[in-house]
């Protein structure tokens, strides 16, 4: 069991999300940076379907009430276990009673906003509609359907990792190994959406040319952007339809909103573009106040980008399996 | 019959490579929605399809993996749309008493300004029809309703509000609905009602299903 010592808002239990219930009005939820969560689970040599904790606010502190192997992935940060420093993206081991403190990095080596804490055995909250992710709107899933609070005691699952020793290997964060920047600004790949052509030419040009600032009114539901005003040729009032994380809606005020993991599964504002799934982790890490550029890709390029993500994860799995083989000569199970 | 929404070729667009949106053309109607329900039922067994999500005379289809050949997928979908027969559902009717205007309806003045109607007229017109549930969506427990009188249609808000309360009765464009829990919305809230629409421990968790009916009654009008 681990105990939350910080009274910080917005920290939630997340796995990869809840699929198959959009038709009930239940959004996907799940980690904003799926790669960080999955890499954390792979580093712990366990199923990438297990749940971890998404931490967007620092400092954040927990206490281990049992011996526990863990890893911190996602954003660069400074962490201490008791007095000892803990490296990001490397497995560490906590003893009973030890306190883990995670603080913002003084000079981050890559720009990102969310840290993921994965523990051996996973955060063992009950499945709700097939997932452990927190469904804030519906107040179910995760830990009691809500953000974590000081004093919460989270159960840890029984670890199935066969390993005896902690692997002394780390993973290079994908923000460093697969950077996508234009003039130092994060570049997000999008495909045109249904109403793209209904916007004025000046608006369409501005979409591609302008940096878009992620405003403080941004969260797991959506990123509200600020930039040039985007206007349709004529006002559009659409019938409500399904939408997915990544869809960029333009409300009548002309400032776009990108739907994120907690976004409602339907909407009716016109859609100018959709962020491709392969870049949602990157966007999910973009800090409030930072800017992004959009660049257009084709269906084929979007599919290849998904393949690149899969290859990166496969490489992490292979590297961990090799390290285990080197460490004890066992064939990894 | 090329103008008939039941047989006219639907509009199809992509939501990245995650999903595809099929939209029937023409006036929103229950028979078209019954075809949407039928198509949804038909295609969830297709291997590429992770889930199908009905909207207002449209259907979002989410993929397990993006189809390698999207054009041939679209062709199969269009063929299936032509082939399916409307699916009729014997639904239940629930009655929801509504307080219109006042603190419960913070945007009713926007609806009045847009339509030129009084609070009483809006309440009268809004509570007149028997509304069929076309689809679930938006958030757990929410229902999209068909059949709203176009005289009270009001565009969605220029900027969505960050929080409207559960029970809020609202108008967005030509549609109306009831929020099941607190959350952001771009619709105009005209009143409120009290009802629990979603319980995750029940199967199904939603109180209402597509094909059920809602009747709003006027509990009170705050002028």
Strand order of the β-sheet with A115-119 is: A12-14, A52-55, A115-119, A68-74, A91-94
Residue pair A220/B33 in contact by the 8 Å Cβ criterion: no
| Contact yes or no for B200 and A129 at CB 8 A | yes
Q: Which of B217, B223, B222, B178 is nearest to B98 (CA)?
A: B217
| Contact yes or no for B51 and A299 at CB 8 A | no
Q: What is the mean pLDDT of residues A122-126?
A: 98
Residue A301 backbone phi and psi in degrees, to 5: -65, -35
Distances (CA, A) of A259 to A81, B83, B152: 36, 34, 29
Distances (CA, A) of A133 to A52, A117, B163: 9, 14, 22
Q: Which of A301, A242, A248 is nearest to A27 (CA)?
A: A242
| Contact yes or no for A217 and B144 at CB 8 A | no
What pLDDT does residue A166 have? 87
Please, what is the average pLDDT of chain A? 94
pTM: 0.93
Count of H helices and E strands in chain B? 4, 13
What pLDDT does residue A162 have? 58
Q: Which residues of chain A lie closer than 8 angstroms to B71, CB-CB?
A: none
Cα dihedral sign, A187-A188-A192-A194: negative
Residue A280 per-residue DSSP state: H
ipTM exceeding the 0.90 mark: yes
Q: Which residues of chain A lie closer than 8 angstroms to B60, CB-CB?
A: 22, 241-244, 266
> Over 60: is that where the pLDDT of A13 sits?
yes
| Contact yes or no for A25 and B137 at CB 8 A | yes
Helix (H) or strand (E) holding B163: strand B161-164
Q: Which residues of chain A lie closer than 8 angstroms to B11, CB-CB?
A: 194
> Over 90: is that where the pLDDT of A332 sits?
no
What pLDDT does residue B2 have? 47
| pLDDT tens profile A288-330 | 999 999 999 999 999 999 999 999 999 999 999 999 888 865 5
**A/B interface, count of CB pairs below 8 Å:** 185
The Cβ-side half-sphere exposure at A52, using a 13 Å CA radius, reads 34
SS3 A229: coil
What pLDDT does residue A163 have? 62
| pLDDT tens profile A25-37 | 999 999 999 999 9
What pLDDT does residue A159 have? 87
Q: Which residues of chain A lie closer than 8 angstroms to B200, CB-CB?
A: 128-129, 138, 140
| pLDDT tens profile A64-94 | 999 999 999 999 999 999 999 999 999 999 9
Q: What percent of chain A has pLDDT over 70?
A: 97
What pLDDT does residue B3 have? 66
> Over 70: is that where the pLDDT of A161 sits?
no
Q: What is the mean pLDDT of residues A147-152?
A: 97
Residue A238 at interface with chain B, using a CB cutoff of 8 Å:
yes
Q: Indicate the residue of A222, A239, A274 with minimum beta-carbon distance to B58.
A: A239
Q: Which regions of chain B are under pLDDT 70?
A: 1-3
């Amino acid at each position: 069991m681990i105990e939350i010592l910080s009274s910080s808002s917005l920290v939630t239990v997340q796995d990869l999300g809840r699929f198959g219930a959009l038709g009930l009005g239940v959004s996907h939820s799940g980690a904003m940076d799926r790669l960080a969560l999955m890499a954390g689970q792979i580093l712990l040599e366990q199923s990438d379907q297990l749940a971890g904790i998404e931490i967007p606010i620092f400092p954040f502190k927990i206490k281990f009430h049992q011996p526990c192997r863990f890893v911190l992935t996602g954003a660069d940060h400074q962490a201490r276990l008791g007095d000892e420093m803990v490296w990001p993206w490397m497995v560490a081991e906590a003893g009973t009673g030890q306190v883990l403190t995670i603080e913002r990095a003084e000079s981050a080596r890559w720009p990102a906003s969310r840290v993921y804490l994965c523990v051996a055995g996973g955060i063992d909250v009950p499945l709700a509609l097939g997932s452990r992710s927190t469904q804030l709107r519906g107040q179910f899933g995760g830990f009691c359907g809500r953000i974590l609070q000081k004093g919460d005691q989270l159960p840890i699952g029984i670890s199935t990792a066969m390993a005896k020793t902690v692997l002394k290997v780390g993973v290079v964060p994908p923000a460093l190994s697969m950077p996508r920047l234009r003039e130092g600004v994060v570049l997000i790949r999008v495909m045109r959406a249904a109403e793209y052509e209904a916007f004025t030419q000046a608006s369409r040009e501005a979409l591609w040319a302008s940096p878009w600032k992620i405003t403080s009114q941004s969260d797991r539901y959506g990123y509200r952007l600020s930039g040039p005003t985007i206007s349709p040729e004529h006002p559009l009032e659409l019938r409500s339809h399904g939408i997915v994380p990544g869809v960029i809606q333009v409300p009548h005020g002309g400032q776009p909103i990108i739907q994120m993991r907690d976004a409602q599964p339907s909407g009716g504002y016109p859609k100018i573009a959709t962020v491709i799934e392969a870049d949602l982790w990157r966007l999910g890490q973009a800090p409030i106040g930072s800017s992004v550029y959009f660049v257009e890709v084709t269906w084929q390029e979007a599919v290849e980008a998904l393949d690149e993500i899969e290859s990166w994860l496969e490489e992490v799995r292979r590297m961990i399996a090799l390290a285990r083989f080197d460490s004890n000569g066992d064939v990894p199970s | 019959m090329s103008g008939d929404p039941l047989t006219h070729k639907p509009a199809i667009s992509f939501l990245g490579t995650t999903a595809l949106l099929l939209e029937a053309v023409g006036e929103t109607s229950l028979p078209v929605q019954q075809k949407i329900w039928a198509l949804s039922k038909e295609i969830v067994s297709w291997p590429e399809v992770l889930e199908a999500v009905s909207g207002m005379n449209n259907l979002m289809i989410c993929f397990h993996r993006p189809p390698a050949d999207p054009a041939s997928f679209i062709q199969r979908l269009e063929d299936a749309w032509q082939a399916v027969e409307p699916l009729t559902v014997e639904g239940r009717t629930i009655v929801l008493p509504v307080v219109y205007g006042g603190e419960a309806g913070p945007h009713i003045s926007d609806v009045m300004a847009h339509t030129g109607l009084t609070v009483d007229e809006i309440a009268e017109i809004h509570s007149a029809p028997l509304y069929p549930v076309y689809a679930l969506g938006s958030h757990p427990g929410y229902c999209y309703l068909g059949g709203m009188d176009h005289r009270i249609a009001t565009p969605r808000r220029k900027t969505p509000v960050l929080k409207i309360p559960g029970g809020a009765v609202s108008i967005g464009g030509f549609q109306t609905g009831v929020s099941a829990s607190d959350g952001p919305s771009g619709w105009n809230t005209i009143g409120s009602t009290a009802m629990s629409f979603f319980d995750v421990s029940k199967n199904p968790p939603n109180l209402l299903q597509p094909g059920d009916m809602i009747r709003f009654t006027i509990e009170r009008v705050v002028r």
